[in-house]
Amino acid sequence: MGLLDGKVAIITGGGRGVGRAEAMVMAKEGAKVVVNDLGGTVSGTGSDAAVANQTVKEIREAGGVAESNFADVSTLDGADSLMWTALSKFGRLDILVNNAGILRDRTVVNMTEEDWDMVLKVHAKHTFLCTRAVARIMKAQGSGGVIINTTSVSGLIGNFGQINYGTAKAGIYAFTKIAAMELAKYGIRVNCVSPSGYTRMVSNLPGMKDMNENIISVEPTAQLALFFASDLSKDLTGRVMGSRGGIHGTSVREFKMTMSEGYQKEGGVAMAKDIADNINEILFKEADLTMG
């Protein structure tokens, strides 16, 4: 018995890295998987059907069931074609993982409009288009479903040089919370993973010099996605969690936007001077979270 027997799962960007690991583990647990991948560069140029096909080949060789889709999921036609692949090949839909992503790092003063738009489109718009398409189908099917989004500590905490990417990923945090509220009445759960993994996307970033695929493996994130996809998390929705590690061990955490206890002024407006006088009560005592 697999954790996902009889389920149909779509993984965007499932040809490489985190998405590939998620596709492999879900297929191993019995899901029929649609592996989507445009097969482009880290910055989102070009395309190559061999990337999605390779993961499909590996799933089939391991005894699983999978089909490829090569669409650009940041477009309406691409998102629709992905749903069509799932429905025409497998007849239903149960799980969507919005994972595809790119990077175009620049500091704010050097950021071009094109790099801003492209990164927001691939991360945030893709998440919206695929979620909308799948939620409509799941609503019509009438048997609920699971959507798993993908954020990053770059959006949850901040990371120098990633203002476009961090903005998109912080937006996906909010998207998860709101979609979870709106889709609960159809039995659709919406959660979010904050991945770690020594993939082509991050291996050249600062701080990665002494790392490798074994120390920061994609497997903990794939297991977290499996947890969210399966009934092991049947009571959870609107959660944002990260799992990071590898052969030396793994840490699993929840991320939350939160509010300080604060200062309360009775019977009127808190004036600028009141804020200054009570600033220690208003601010968090702890320092901000940091990367690493």
The answer to whether 243 contacts ligand NAD (rule: CB under 6 A) is no
Are the C-beta atoms of residues 135 and 189 closer than 8 Å to each other? no
* From 9, 11, 100, 129, residue interacting with ligand NAD (rule: CB under 6 A): 100
Non-local CB neighbours of 97 within 8 Å, separated by 6+ positions: 9, 10, 11, 12, 14, 19, 22, 148, 150, 225, 229
CA distances from 34 to 80, 121, 213, 263, 282 (A): 13, 22, 25, 51, 48
Going by C-alpha positions, the residue among 43, 36, 30, 32 that lies closest to residue 15 is 36
Looking at the Cβ atoms of 184 and 211, the one nearer to ligand NAD is 211
**Nearest approach, Cβ of residue 279 and ligand NAD (Å):** 34
Query: What are the structure tokens assigned to 132, written together?
Result: 């909308």
Q: Which stretch binds ligand NAD (CB under 6 A): 35-43, 180-188, 223-231, 275-283?
A: 35-43
54 interacts with ligand NAD by CB under 6 A:
no
Q: Find the binder of ligand NAD among 42, 137, 157, 236 (CB under 6 A).
A: 42
Q: Catalytic: which of 165, 186, 198, 263?
A: 165
CA-CA distance, 163 to 157, in Å (whole number)?
12
Contacts of 1 (CB under 8 A, 6+ apart): 30
Q: Rule CB under 6 A: is residue 196 a binding residue for ligand NAD? A: yes
- Using CB under 6 A as the binding rule, whether residue 246 contacts ligand NAD is answered as no
Catalytic positions:
165
Per CB under 6 A, residues contacting ligand NAD are 12-13, 15-19, 36-40, 42, 44, 51, 72-74, 99-102, 122, 126, 150, 152, 195-197, 199-202
